[in-house]
Amino acid sequence: MDKILVHGGQSLSGSVRVSGSKNSALPILAACLLTKEPCIIRQVPDLSDVHYMLQILSHLGAEVERASGTVTVRAENIKSVAPYEIVRKMRASVCVLGPLLGREKEATVSLPGGCVIGDRPIDLHLRGFEALGAAVRVECGNVKVFAAKLKGETINLRGKFGSTVLGTDNIMMAAALAEGVTIIEGAAAEPEVVDLANFLNAMGAKIEGAGTRRIVIEGVAELHGAEHSVIPDRIEAGTFMVAAAIAGTRVTLRRVVPDHLKAVSEALIQAGYGIETSRDTLTVVGNGKPKPLELLTEPYPSFPTDMQAQMCALLSEGEGISVITESIFPQRFMHVSELKRMGAQITLEGASAVIKGVERLSGAPVMASDLRASAALVLAGLRASGVTEVNRVYHIDRGYESIDDKLNGLGAQIERVKV
Ligand code: EPU
**pLDDT at residue 182, as a whole number:** 98
Q: How confident is the model at residue 23 (pLDDT cuts 50, 70, 90)?
A: very high
For residue 319, count other CB atoms closer than 10 A to its CB. Answer: 14
**pLDDT at residue 90, as a whole number:** 87
Is the shortest distance between the CB of 159 and ligand 1 below 6 Å?
A: yes
Please indicate whether residue 138 or residue 221 has the higher confidence score (pLDDT).
221
Is the shortest distance between the CB of 390 and ligand 1 below 6 Å?
A: no
**pLDDT at residue 116, as a whole number:** 63
166 C-alpha to center of ligand 1: Å?
Answer: 7
Would you say residue 303 has pLDDT above 70? yes
167 C-alpha to center of ligand 1: Å?
Answer: 8
CATH number at residue 60: 3.65.10.10
165 C-alpha to center of ligand 1: Å?
Answer: 6
**pLDDT at residue 343, as a whole number:** 98
164 C-alpha to center of ligand 1: Å?
Answer: 6
Number of domains the chain contains: 2
Residues 246, 213 share a domain: no
Residues 384, 282 share a domain: yes
pLDDT for 72-95, tens place per residue?
999 999 999 988 888 888 888 999
Amino acid at 245: A
Residues 391, 257 share a domain: yes
Residues 266, 357 share a domain: yes
Residues 273, 142 share a domain: no
- Give 317's contacts (C-beta < 8 A, 6+ positions apart): 246, 289, 290, 357, 358, 359, 360, 361, 383
Would you say residue 341 has pLDDT above 80? yes
91 C-alpha to center of ligand 1: Å?
Answer: 10
List, by residue number, the catalytic residues.
115
Is the shortest distance between the CB of 307 and ligand 1 below 6 Å?
A: no
Residues 10, 26 share a domain: no
Domain span at residue 185 reads: 22-229
Q: How confident is the model at residue 338 (pLDDT cuts 50, 70, 90)?
A: very high
Residues 110, 9 share a domain: no
The C-alpha atoms of residue 391 and residue 369 are separated, in whole angstroms, by 9
Q: Which of 229, 264, 299 marks a domain boundary?
A: 229
Residues 236, 203 share a domain: no
Is the shortest distance between the CB of 165 and ligand 1 below 6 Å?
A: yes
Residues 132, 39 share a domain: yes
Q: Which of 229, 248, 276 marks a domain boundary?
A: 229
Is the shortest distance between the CB of 182 and ligand 1 below 6 Å?
A: no
Most confident option among 113-122, 133-142, 284-293: 284-293
Ligand 1: which atom is nearest the Cα of residue 160?
7
pLDDT for 383-401, tens place per residue?
999 999 999 888 999 999 9
Burial of 388 (0-12, 13-18, 19+ CB in 10 A): buried
Is the shortest distance between the CB of 24 and ligand 1 below 6 Å?
A: no
Q: Which of 200, 229, 258 marks a domain boundary?
A: 229
**pLDDT at residue 112, as a whole number:** 72
Residues 142, 59 share a domain: yes
The least confident of 84-93, 124-133, 190-199, 276-285 is 84-93
Q: How confident is the model at residue 317 (pLDDT cuts 50, 70, 90)?
A: very high
- Mean confidence (pLDDT) of the chain: 95
Residue 279's closest CA among 260, 301, 304? 260
Would you say residue 141 has pLDDT above 90? no
> Can you tell me the mean pLDDT for 95-120?
84
Please indicate whether residue 394 or residue 107 has the higher confidence score (pLDDT).
107
Ligand 1: which atom is nearest the Cα of residue 169?
23
The C-alpha atoms of residue 352 and residue 338 are separated, in whole angstroms, by 16
The C-alpha angle with vertex 212 and arms to 206 and 214, in degrees rounded to 5, equals: 65
Q: What are residue 216's phi and psi, to 5 degrees?
A: -115, 125
The least confident of 23-27, 105-109, 192-196, 392-396 is 392-396
**pLDDT at residue 351, as a whole number:** 97
Would you say residue 102 has pLDDT above 70? yes
Which residue has the least CA distance to atom 37 on ligand 1? 165
- List residues bridging with 118 in a β-sheet: 115
The C-alpha atoms of residue 2 and residue 368 are separated, in whole angstroms, by 12
**pLDDT at residue 114, as a whole number:** 54
For a ligand 1 pocket test, name from 97, 117, 127, 164 the mutation site with the most ligand atoms within 8 angstroms of its C-beta: 164
The C-alpha atoms of residue 154 and residue 327 are separated, in whole angstroms, by 26
Percent of the chain with pLDDT over 90: 89
Residues 254, 215 share a domain: no
Q: How confident is the model at residue 113 (pLDDT cuts 50, 70, 90)?
A: low
For residue 148, count other CB atoms closer than 10 A to its CB. Answer: 10
Contact indicator for 131, 155 with CB cutoff of 8 Å:
yes
> Kind of pairing, strands 135-139 and 154-156?
unpaired
Residues 219, 255 share a domain: no
For a ligand 1 pocket test, name from 328, 333, 335 the mutation site with the most ligand atoms within 8 angstroms of its C-beta: 328
Percent of the chain with pLDDT over 70: 98
